[in-house]
Amino acid sequence: MAKFRFHWALILIGLVLGLMLSTQFRVQQEKVQAATVKRVEQLALNVETARQERDALRARVQELRDELDQAAEEVQLGELRSQLDHVRMQAGLLSVTGPGIEVVLSDSPTPAQPGQSPNLFVLHDEDLLKVVNELRASGAEAIAINSERLVATSEIRCIGPAVVINRDRRLAPPYTITAIGDPDTMIAALEMRDGVLATLKVWGIQATIRRVPEAVVPAYTGKTTFNYAVPVFEEGGS
């Protein structure tokens, strides 16, 4: 009889434990489901908020575009653009066209005689500088050598049989110098008696000049960064 009661006690305990475990599992599942639903609702809310912010930003972008378009139509901005183009043209940052000349310089085909230096019969950086300076003195408004624009910071230096312009542009003869300005004035300056071309021709340097009704001088494409120079503002300016 005692053994029989013991078995029934075990069965009863097992049923109670099973009921407790089942109840606890069901409660835990409900909590997980509730948390999942809450998480989904929060994510949906975040998505909707992000959509609203996106729509607001799109609307603001469109407003700014409309304001920019409206400003572009104003006369004042047109004047500023014109002034900017004028400054860029003076700085050599725009391609320009106009009446001018082309000067082609080539080394002398005459071989050096015994006792003569071969360097006398080839073009050097100083020869190009003399021609460029003469053109500038005669009113040239834009100058390029072999389509390389010369600006205020341009240099012309010799590296053996060639020259370097604008720090890293290596050019070799023949050199075609294109200049925009008054053709008559520039030609007269180059061809004056004992002038730069006359001196070069003494050593057989070949030089030809032709008028160009619509010469084209390309824009300067080199570096424009200033590492040391800074603008000086007038007192009271900003």
pLDDT at residue 148 above 70?
yes
Question: Hunting for tokens 């009921």 — which residue is that?
Answer: 19
- Report, as an integer, the average pLDDT of 46-66: 80
Predicted pLDDT at 56: 84
Please report the pLDDT score of residue 46 as a whole number. Answer: 81
Q: E strands, 135-204, where?
A: 142-145, 148-149, 156-159, 162-165, 169-171, 175-180
pLDDT of amino acid 115: 61
Mean pLDDT of 227-236: 81
Closest CA to 91 of 228, 221, 231: 221
d(CA 123, CA 125): 7
* Domain extent listing, the chain: 1-73, 97-217
Would you place residue 93 in the very low, low, confident or very high pLDDT band (cuts 50, 70, 90)?
confident
Is the predicted pLDDT of residue 238 greater than 60, yes or no?
A: no
Please compute the mean of the pLDDT values over residues 218-226 and round it to a whole number: 86
Centroid of chain to Cα 35: 55
pLDDT tens, position by position, 1-45: 555 555 556 666 666 666 666 777 676 666 666 667 677 777 778
- Rounded CA-CA distance 180/42 in Å is 70
* Tokens read off for 224: 């424009």
Q: Which of 32-36, 62-66, 120-124, 201-205 has the highest mean pLDDT?
A: 201-205
Whether 109 contacts 205, CB under 8 Å: no
Percent of the chain having pLDDT more than 90? 37
Task: Answer yes or no: are the C-beta atoms of 204 and 198 closer than 8 Å.
Answer: no
User: Given this model, what pLDDT does residue 105 score?
Assistant: 95
Give the Cα separation of 201 and 20 in Å (integer). Answer: 116
Helix, strand, coil shares of the chain, percent, nearest 5, are 50, 20, 30
116-141 pLDDT, tens digit each:
666 667 888 999 999 999 999 999 99
Strand order through the sheet with 162-165: 156-159, 162-165, 169-171
CB contact at 8 A, 207 and 197: yes
- Please answer whether residues 145 and 165 qualify as being in contact, where contact means their C-beta atoms are separated by less than 8 angstroms: yes
Stated pTM of the model: 0.64
* Structure tokens, 167: 């720090």
Query: Which CATH architecture fits 97-217?
Result: 2-Layer Sandwich (3.30)
Please indicate whether residue 174 or residue 19 has the higher confidence score (pLDDT): 174
Q: How confident is the model at residue 64 (pLDDT cuts 50, 70, 90)?
A: confident
pLDDT on residue 134: 96
What mean pLDDT value characterizes the chain?
82
| Burial category of 144 from C-beta neighbours within 10 Å (exposed 0-12, middle 13-18, buried 19 and up) | buried
What's the full length of the chain, in residues? 238
The helix (H) or strand (E) run that includes residue 51 is helix 2-72
Q: Round to the nearest angstrom and report the end-to-end CA distance of the chain.
A: 109
pLDDT at 197 over 70: yes
pLDDT of residue 109: 78
Minimum mean pLDDT range among 27-36, 94-103, 159-168: 27-36
According to DSSP, residue 143 is labeled E
Bridge pairing between strands 162-165 and 206-217: unpaired
